[in-house]
Structure 1
Amino acid sequence: MIARLLAWLSDPARWAGADGIPTRLLEHLVYSVVVVLLAAAVAVPVGLLIGHTGRGKWVVTSANAARAIPSLGLLFAVALVLGPRLSSDLAFVLPSLLVLVVLAMPPLLSGAYSGVEAVDPAARDAAYGIGMTGRQVLTGVELPCALPLVLSGVRSATLQVVATATIASFISLGGLGRYLVDGLASGDYAQMAGGALLVATLALLLDGILALVQRRVVSPGLRLDAHPARSRRSRRSADATDTTSTAADTAGVAPASAPAASTPSSSPAERSTP
């Protein structure tokens, strides 16, 4: 099977034409980027607003419950409803994009909401204390603090869209999923394996790119892995200080860092005695 897979990937005919790997890869990438951008434009502001106001939490709960809906069944249902009402290629493209947007919204919504909800209340109170408005608190304090979880939601949604876009090929959408559908129809398992490998590779590359973006835009103070050597030195210094203080307290003497108490040379009674 591996030999057949390598032969399929190394075939020059697979790298040219409308059905070539570069064309299918570009189609899959365009679909995924468009879907994530559309879903983020709706879900991220809604999640931030819910986390900021504390109202409408049922929306997040309902969105998470919607993850249990079968993707393929939802795709066929939307295609059957919208397909006859549309003409040209929109009858295939629009239902697929709509379903993918719906499936990408729950992780984006949850990430934005959880990020704002996890903000330290002391930071929020301090912002209000210096006279910042609600919008300024959201954009200047809560959003930067919530950015790690927001970007984690984007990464999760991207992986889900890249993987789920393959099933959209069942209703004649392009992309890498065509290799899976066409290979299944013709019994060409090397083509199916090649398509699956390309989808997995694309998902890993996009996740790696988003991980680099997250590392660049998130403040170092919000990253747990920022300056690990410095963190280890700080922990060792703190542990050594605690150990020294504990040992000093146990022995009944003052720690070395504390100033020694001055002891009078003689008691007041002795000084008053002639």
Structure 2
Amino acid sequence: MRLLAVDWSGDLHGARRRIRVAEARPGRLLEVRGGLDRDGVGELMAELRDGPESAVVGMDFSFGLPGWFAREHGCATLPQVWALAAADGERWLRECPPPFWGRPGTRRPADDPARPLFRRTEQDARDRGLHPLSTFQVGGAGAVGTGSVRGMALLGAWRRAGIGVWPLDPAPGPAGVLVAEIYPRAMTGPVVKSSSSARAAYVAADARVPQQLRADVVATEDAFDASLAALGMAEHAAELGSLRVLTDPTALLEGAMWLPPREHFPVS
């Protein structure tokens, strides 16, 4: 089974410069590469689907939105949320209507227990010491909303093309490929990723990264995240290769992150 991680990008025109794809096997990074835009990642999924080996691919964008938002917009299933994102997502990003925020002139909504800004899977991760941001934040430092909205808009088409999407599909997916939402920070640990020297020191101390790949891994934060995420996934290949459909109604509406066991990730 192949294990890959994609560091995604929501950039409207510059995604090709940002997206990185890494592949690893247990204990060793095999490749990290760029040059793909979002459509190119979809083409890669199709190549994997048609290839000889099964694959699990980690994607670092939110696969859903909080359940209350989905229900208020008439969605009862996760594929309906993806269809909503495909239909309305660009308007959300352009107009930034509440509860979205992050564009100039918008503010973070007040906390409301009835309308939480985080999905349950994100809150669970926060309870474990991680710090995922709200998918509703589409601008500002660390914002994940733009990439998530543009990623969700593609998930439905990928699934119709035979690419499995966890937690709706089990490994290895209906045609041998399963994509799962991941959180790379759970696998990088406490490193200042914005510092090239810190990335270099981290990678130099990691025997899983071959010497010939180190420069590519540390070249950008995106490459670093993709590479360490792929290595982290590879450490749990058996678990990823046996993922089952979740039956929890909240996960089936909001999506769910795959995270390594708590004892396996140091957090900052």
TM over 0.5: no
Higher helix share goes to which structure?
Answer: 1
The structure with higher relative contact order (CA 8 Å, sep 6+) is 2
Structure number with bigger Rg: 1
